[in-house]
């Protein structure tokens, strides 16, 4: 009979330190106890520009022919 690999569950009572590390720079998930400062939400500054309005970049082209393409 072959031994099955151990799967950790709520009733597992042995040391769970298997030598792996958590890379907080790549793949870190922010939660309520993270300790990082909250970030400002990303705002879409072009959401109110219509396709036929002048492009806000100042090119004097219509938005649809400039940055809206």
Surface-to-core class of residue 10, CB atoms within 10 Å of its CB (0-12 exposed, 13-18 middle, 19+ buried):
exposed
Quick check: helix, strand or coil at residue 31? coil
* pTM greater than the 0.85 cutoff: no
- Do the Cβ atoms of 60 and 54 come closer than 8 Å? yes
Query: Is the pLDDT reported for residue 54 higher than 90?
Result: yes
Fill in the DSSP letter of residue 66: T
Residue 33 CB: number of other CB atoms within 10 A? 5
Query: Is the pLDDT reported for residue 46 higher than 90?
Result: no
**What is the tens place of the pLDDT at every residue in 7-30?**
666 666 666 555 555 555 556 676
């Amino acid at each position: 009979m072959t031994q099955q690999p151990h799967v950790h569950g709520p009733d597992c009572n042995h040391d769970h330190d298997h030598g792996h590390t958590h890379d907080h720079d790549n793949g870190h998930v922010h939660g309520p106890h993270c300790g990082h400062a909250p970030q400002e939400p990303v705002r879409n500054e072009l959401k109110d520009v219509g396709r036929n309005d002048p492009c806000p970049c100042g090119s004097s082209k219509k938005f649809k022919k400039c940055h809206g393409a």
